[in-house]
A and B are shown apart, each in its own frame.
Chain A
Amino acid sequence: MNKRTLSIFVLIIIFAVNEVSALGITPGSFNFDFEPGAAKSIKFSVINSEKKDANFVVLTQGELKDNIYSVSLPEGIFKMTSADGEKNLEYVLKMPASLSPGPHKSEIVVMQLPGQWKGEGETSVEATVGVAAQVNVFVPYPGKYLEASLNAADSEEGGIVFVIPVVSRGKLDIVRVKAIIDIYNLNEKVDTIESEEISILSGERKEIVVKWKSDFLPGTYKAAATILYDEETLKLEKEFNIGDKILDLVDVKVNDFSLGGIAKFELLIESKWSELIKDAYLQMLVYNKEGEVMADFKSATYDVKSLEKTLMVAFWDTDGVREGVYDSSVILNYDRKSAQKDFKLDVSENEIKVIGLGYVISEAGGKKTNSLVVILVVVIAILVLINLSWFLFLRRKLHGNKKVVK
């Protein structure tokens, strides 16, 4: 047996041993609004992810387990072969005559049976895997009841957009819903914004959207929203960031250098974040002409103050280094992030020059003008002009001339 065949054989064995089982189900959840006595169809697919011969059992569990049944699979056991990618099953949920208000959760669980299934009561020591599709029935609360969550995201026009999805979970419609959002930075309230008022029918889902044109400093902020709906209130909170936690390499200098000695790199780092960034450090790499790393050195750790510049120092032992131009990278590490800047070092007998540490500022592409819209507008404008000219001037003039002739 040659080496290649042996490797393939070993790989096959590894895969065969490592993969025990895999199972899928889709959709993973079904949501129904309560209708007393109604029968709801639940169609789902069991996915034989590994395309193996296997036996499966389907169980129901949860509050409504006795109300969920299969017509086609009364025993809840089925088999799939390696040729079967998936099996489509249909269950029925027969809703009871009454249920208490709120959510009611049940599940349809599909378990892969270990080994060959021979009948109930058989035990096995093998590990097995199962997947569950959730069946949720929601009964409206009496009166008015609102469910909401608060999301904050960067707005495309700048600033922050707060999106509050709201669902009316009560039996009664809600006439007035609005959000008042207080914004805090370091526990100090910096702004308050209010949404427009909307109304929501029972069972309806809508979104409250509030845009905040923030001109505040980058940093972490907290939004505390009070949702006022008719006579009730709901409180929500969300932390969000303005800008990114960014440290920027501004300048690199090497003073008092002589080749073969220790080069002291002074790197000026600017924080664009409004809070202290702790334990930041930089790593500097110098590459030889073959692109291999010939020097790898780090600075100590620094606490970089908000919106200030900090000088970081790193040392490079240039013993054995020859004069020349070397590619180099500085990697700034902070707060589980890293940012890299590449430049060149021109090393001579008494000097290291840093080449190419600058910025390319590209013009941001704006939205394109819709040429079709322009053509349409022009054509319609010409048509309007022709019509106006005809009906207001030319037609009257010709009509007038005719009268004069008469």
Chain B
Amino acid sequence: MNKKYILIIDAILILGSLSAVFVFVNYAQPLVIAPIDNYESSNNTVLFEFSKAELILIDENIEFTSPREIYVEDNLVVNFKPGIYYWKVVGALESDIRQLTINSEIDLQLKETNEGYSVVNSGNTPLRVELYENGAYTGEIILDVDESSGVEGDKFVGREDE
């Protein structure tokens, strides 16, 4: 066979193989839509939208040493506690690592009851509530998320329980 034809076949094979690999790698690369990188919210629930992947890895550590693994074919809503998280999706290939932050939200409700007052933790993180009576500190209580408790006093200050 003519040397020229052999070189043409060489070129076709090399370029064809490279093109095929390029096309398949691009095709296999997961498409991540949401949440955007550095997403920040005080809403505990986050919608993950992606395609060409079936596993979400979520970790508080960028090295993914102890990731939460969620197998899912379509989009998914995940509940988070306040904190900084790293996540990626895995299909034939892995997506880039993205970061999301769930901010703590302190939300304290005060209700009047027959016995006095009741405080309710309506935020997304456990609360330490200080109780005051006539300007003097009288004690404190810890409230879990959505927990309520009867209290006495006239001033109530809630903060994140560390």
Interface size on B, residues (CB 8 A): 50
In the complex with contacts A127-B156, A370-B54, A28-B92 CB distance below 8 A: no
Choose among B3, B17, B21, B65 the residue with the greatest number of A CB atoms under 10 Å from its CB.
B65
Task: Tell me the number of A-to-B contacts counted with CB atoms below 8 Å.
Answer: 162
Q: Specify the chain B residue showing the minimal Cβ separation from A379.
A: B24
Given A163-B66, A368-B54, A386-B13, answer yes or no on A127-B104 (Cβ-Cβ < 8 Å). no
Residue from the list A28, A111, A401 in contact with B106, Cβ < 8 A: A28
Measured CA separation A210–B117 after assembly (Å): 47
CB–CB A19/B111 < 8 A: yes
Task: State in angstroms the CA–CA spacing of A395 and B3 once bound together.
Answer: 10
- B154 and A127 form a contact (CB under 8 A): yes
- Report Cα–Cα, A401/B1, bound state, in Å: 8
Contact with A along B130-151 (1 / 0, CB 8 A): 0000000000000000000000
Contact B92 A372 (CB under 8 A): yes
CB-contact partner of A207 in B63, B82, B122, B123, under 8 A: B63
Contacts of B103 on A, CB cut-off 8 Å?
Answer: 26-28
Whether the pair A207, B61 counts as a contact (CB closer than 8 A) is yes
CA distance A257 to B132 in the complex (A): 66
Instruction: Report the Cα distance A208→B66, complex, angstroms.
Output: 9
Contacts of A161 in B (CB 8 A): 66
- The residues of A that contact B60 with a CB separation of less than 8 Å are 165, 207
> Is there a chain A Cβ closer than 8 Å to B125's Cβ?
yes
Q: Is B45 an interface residue (CB 8 A)?
A: no
Asked if residues A26 and B105 are in contact (CB atoms below 8 Å), the reply is yes
In the complex, chain A residues 16-37 whose Cβ is within 8 Å of any chain B Cβ: 17-29
Complex Cα gap A28–B71 (Å): 32
Q: In the complex, which residues of chain B have a beta carbon less than 8 angstroms from the beta carbon of A28? A: 82, 103-106, 123, 125, 159-160
The 8 Å CB contact of B105, one of A20, A24, A387, is A24
- Neighbouring A residues of B71 by C-beta, 8 Å: 367-368
Contact of A27 among B20, B42, B153, B154 (CB under 8 A): B42
Q: Which partner residue on chain A sits nearest B16 by CB separation?
A: A383
Is A216 at the interface (CB under 8 A from chain B)?
no
Q: How far is it, in angstroms, between the C-alpha of A28 and the C-alpha of B104 when the chains are bound?
A: 5
Interface centre among B9, B63, B104 (most CB of A within 10 A): B104
Instruction: Encode A205-239 as 1/0 by CB contact (under 8 A) with B.
Output: 11111000000000000000000000000000000
Q: Which residue of B lies closest to A127 (CB)?
A: B154
Question: Taking A127-B153, A402-B3 as contacts, is the C-beta distance between A27 and B92 under 8 angstroms?
Answer: no
Q: In whole angstroms, what is the CA distance A133 to B162 when docked?
A: 12
Q: Which of A24, A29, A156, A372 contacts B107 (CB 8 A)?
A: A24
A399-B112 in contact given A23-B107, A26-B105 (Cβ < 8 Å): no
| Shortest Cβ gap from A392 to chain B (Å) | 12
Closest to B61 in A: A207
- Give chain A residues whose Cβ lies under 8 Å from the Cβ of B21: 380, 383
Per the bound structure, the CA–CA distance linking A372 and B113 in Å amounts to 60
Please name all residues of chain B whose beta carbon is closer than 8 Å to the beta carbon of A393 when the two chains form the complex.
Answer: none
- What are the residues of chain A within 8 A of B107 when measuring CB–CB? 22-25, 47, 49, 131
Q: Note all chain B residues with C-beta closer than 8 A to A50.
A: 109
CB of A180 closer than 8 Å to a CB of B: no
- Report if A134-B160 is in contact (Cβ < 8 Å); known contacts: A17-B112, A28-B125: yes
- Measured in the bound complex, the distance between the Cα atoms of B119 and A129 in whole Å is 9
Q: A402 CA to B119 CA in the complex, in Å?
A: 93
Contact between chains at A132 and B106 (CB < 8 Å):
yes
Give min CB distance, B137 to chain A, whole Å. 12
Bound: A129/B131 CA distance, A = 10
B residues 36-81 near A (Cβ < 8 Å) are 42, 52, 54, 60-61, 63, 65-66, 69, 71
Q: Complex: how many Å from CA A27 to CA B101?
A: 10
List 30 A–B pairs whose Cβ atoms lie within 8 Å, in order of A's numbering.
A18-B111, A21-B109, A24-B107, A26-B104, A27-B42, A111-B155, A126-B154, A127-B153, A128-B156, A129-B110, A130-B108, A130-B156, A131-B159, A132-B158, A132-B159, A133-B159, A205-B61, A206-B65, A209-B65, A368-B54, A372-B52, A373-B91, A376-B28, A383-B17, A386-B13, A386-B17, A391-B10, A395-B10, A398-B1, A399-B1
Point out residues on A near B: beta carbons under 8 Å: 17-29, 47, 49-50, 107, 109, 111, 125-134, 156, 161, 163, 165, 205-209, 367-368, 370, 372-373, 376, 379-380, 383, 386-387, 390-391, 395, 398-399, 401-402
Binding site for A on B (CB under 8 A): 1-3, 6, 9-10, 13, 17, 20-21, 24, 28, 42, 52, 54, 60-61, 63, 65-66, 69, 71, 82, 91-92, 103-113, 117, 119, 122-123, 125, 153-160, 162
* 19 further A-B pairs in the complex, CB-CB below 8 A; given A18-B112, A23-B107, A128-B110: A21-B110, A22-B110, A24-B123, A25-B106, A27-B104, A28-B160, A29-B104, A125-B154, A127-B117, A128-B156, A129-B108, A131-B107, A134-B162, A163-B65, A368-B54, A372-B52, A380-B24, A390-B10, A399-B1
Give the top 10 A-B pairs by smallest Cβ distance, nearest first.
A28-B104, A24-B107, A27-B103, A132-B159, A22-B109, A28-B160, A130-B157, A26-B105, A26-B42, A372-B92
